Structure 1
């Protein structure tokens, strides 16, 4: 899903299920394999037990600044999602499920990619 450490909307759209069912620790390991120095911590804003993967070495080809891994069940509905913040592609959110199950406030600026399903 990453191309030399870079996340793009196109590469993630081509394989959104790469994040499906992955824990924050598994995604952190994927990032480490791409040369990222990361720290996993609990989200302070989440009611659903989301985790934040903090990136300590953004730069060069590494454009990811933070990743949030949410199990779902919070304000966006029951679908788990992974929110990838980048310094050049904006925010890319991969939602595990159908668009119809996702709750949005209509103010989100993220590019949202749905894996489909019920």
Structure 2
């Protein structure tokens, strides 16, 4: 039986969550999910992350919103750390990343 990329991601995430780790490391966990499934998984992750420490590597703004604190990487170096709204208000590079994603999402849906 062959699983799709999204199915493999959901299975791996379920295994990790069921283990109830003290620290959960997620590396671009939602990248292969469709938008609807991503929203469902994000809701579940909010509940899981309220009871554990999580380190999330993400490329999507919606995933970044799961975090209490965000680290912005540029050229392999952490350049800024703070809450999402703080970085959005004060860091032009962060604003540009989110604007680029919003534009790309708008182009896909139109």
- Decide: shared fold, TM above 0.5: no
**Greater per-residue helix proportion:** 2
Higher Cα radius of gyration: 2
TM range (shorter): under 0.3
Give the structure-1-normalised TM-score. Answer: 0.24
**Greater per-residue strand proportion:** 1
